Amino acid sequence: MAASSPSPAGAAAGLPRGRREERPALLRRWARLEHVVLAVGLGAGFLALWEFLSQRELIEPVLFPAPTKVASAWWFLVNADFFPPHFWVTMFEIAMGFVLGAAIGLSLGILLGTIRVVRLVLYPYVITFQALPKIVLAPLFIIWFGFGPASKIATAVAICFFPVMINTVVGLQLVEEDALKLMHSLRASRWQVFAKLRFPNALPHIFAGLKTSLTFAMIGAITAEFLIAADNGLGRLVQIFQLQIQVHLMMAVIVIVSVLGILGVWVMDALDRRVVFWREK
């Protein structure tokens, strides 16, 4: 009988232990690279089609300006003297809204997730507040906080606190019963159970809420700049360009906001991997 060729598993088994452990990691890197190439290729193809249709005026170039024109508008914006005040005002509003909203959501989530009485009393009110369209609160925020950044920050906080809160509650409650019994058998205090078991178990859920909350803070701050009489901000720029029907400049601002969102999520992903280092990737 002819000798059969060695299988990949058999070949891998013949490798040293370190080499065997490197193979799955290498395969995962290649898979990620393949996904990146596919994503970039899809985006490049879409932009090329858009450019072709706009240049040939198969779509209205004023309403759907070519990507090259949007890129030129983006370069004009980032080098314009009037742009930095608008940019940094919005960044401040997003950052403050996210930090305050995340702090409120985390604190409230810990209370609801660990104290049953608090959960039974407050949870219906939290759900009721979440069901309320936050935009209707904008007039109140203007009266309470004025026309400056504070009213936009308040809007961002009102929108972005809930994902952190609900994910914290879910994470604190999704604890294995056997793990709880083990902690109790070791005579762990309530604080030790929270610090050593419940909170670490909730961290992956909390970071998922933080990533969502960051995008919600951007939505809240920029939407508030639309609705509230703002002097500065990226939302104010979009409003000005809309009145002037300069769609290419509007799209350039949208690109800037999108890039900010992507960078923010990447930062949160990096922090997630660093803090929740024990989670399987």
Phi-psi region at 62: left, alpha or beta (left = phi > 0; alpha = psi -120 to 50): alpha
Distance from the Cα of residue 229 to its chain's centroid: 27
- Round to whole Å and give the CA distance between 174 and 204: 11
Averages of pLDDT over each 10 residues, the chain, 281 residues: 47 50 64 77 86 83 86 90 91 94 93 88 86 81 84 90 92 84 82 86 91 91 79 86 88 91 90 80 52
Three-state secondary-structure class, residue 189: coil
pLDDT, tens only, 4-29: 444 444 444 454 555 555 556 666 67
Indicate yes or no: pTM above 0.85: no
